[in-house]
Amino acid sequence: MQEQPDLQNDKKEPVLHSEYLAHLRKYISHFNETSEFRSTLENYQKEINILSSLNFDPVIQILEETYSPKNRGKKRREPVCMLRSLFLMTLIREKSITKWVGKTRSFGYFFGILAGFNFNDTPGVGTYYDFFNRLIDSPFSPYTRGQTRRSQHNAKEFERNLGSESDAKKEDRNPNHTKSEKLANELLADASKPREPGFNTILEDMLFLLAIKPSIETGMITELDNIVVTGDGSIMQTASSRYGKTTCECRKKGDYKCGHSRIYSSRTAQICYDHHHNSFVFGDRYYHLIITQNGHDFPIHAHCRAVMKATIHCL
């Protein structure tokens, strides 16, 4: 793609969906003369159609509440562009933030432009992790001395004994009740209670505003008085090592499989069997409730043990 001087001076990132569509039209018309750009457009037409149709306007206020209203310091990146960028990263199945930053700055900044950023001006790795921390710590509150934010707590190392935790988990299992029944009972019991503000609430609100509500309004989800809900689970692999750091001297004695506690960077991850890949992974179990209508599966509630434990611990 050729660099265009008149586009390099763009400063404002699009916020509203109408501004984002105008942003796409401007750049597509500007670069569409090059064969490389047209080829890239054809290869990622599906992603372009999805992002053009997905309106992030309903969650702008939620994202704004993760930032200080005083608007001091260095000019921020538009949070809606950050969220759209992460969504695009998921669409193209990129798992590494570092690699994703590289991709947004290659291909003539195609992915950066598609996310809503301006030409030759995309965020770095640290900006993405700052955005993660803001979501985890939301809603914004001024820092007080001695306070430990959720994001700071998650970044700590934890002394754990996976064997003891696994045994305790087995004792808590009830063979007479499924995971779906247990989760449904928890949701029904808390139906009349106000939700605690935080990361889990933000995820629930985003799922409702960006997916569930539009699906109902467009007629993809019907028969609201007669919905059949089913449960499905999976495993989210963590970047934390399953072996941890030793806290004993057993290795010096030749015992590499002792039962002593170890230090882990994840407070909740467990060694889980992944049926889909027929292998054991170190991660957290992810469970969601879905409804199936018109040939599509619609997730209506997500439940992750890691998110819940981290939130409860820091409240």
Q: pLDDT tens digits, residue range 208-248?
A: 999 999 999 999 998 888 888 887 778 888 888 888 999 99
User: What per-residue confidence (pLDDT) applies to 18?
Assistant: 96
User: What per-residue confidence (pLDDT) applies to 6?
Assistant: 55
User: What per-residue confidence (pLDDT) applies to 3?
Assistant: 45
- Using DSSP's 3-state secondary structure scheme, residue 165 falls into helix
Could you report the per-residue pLDDT of 109-120, keeping only the tens digit for each?
899 999 999 988
* C-alpha distances out from residue 148 to 111, 112, 144, 184, 313, Å: 35, 34, 9, 32, 11
Counting as low any pLDDT under 70, the low residues of the chain are: 1-11, 171-176, 179-180, 304-315
Q: Which residues of 156-194 are buried (b: 16+ CB within 10 A; e: fewer)?
A: eebebebeeeeeeeeeeeeeeeeeeeebbeeeeeeeeee
The structure's pTM equals: 0.82
User: What per-residue confidence (pLDDT) applies to 126?
Assistant: 95
User: What per-residue confidence (pLDDT) applies to 133?
Assistant: 92
What is the rounded radius of gyration, in angstroms, for the C-alpha atoms of the chain?
23
User: What per-residue confidence (pLDDT) applies to 131?
Assistant: 95
Could you report the per-residue pLDDT of 40-60, keeping only the tens digit for each?
888 999 999 999 999 999 999
For tokens 């305790």, the residue is 168
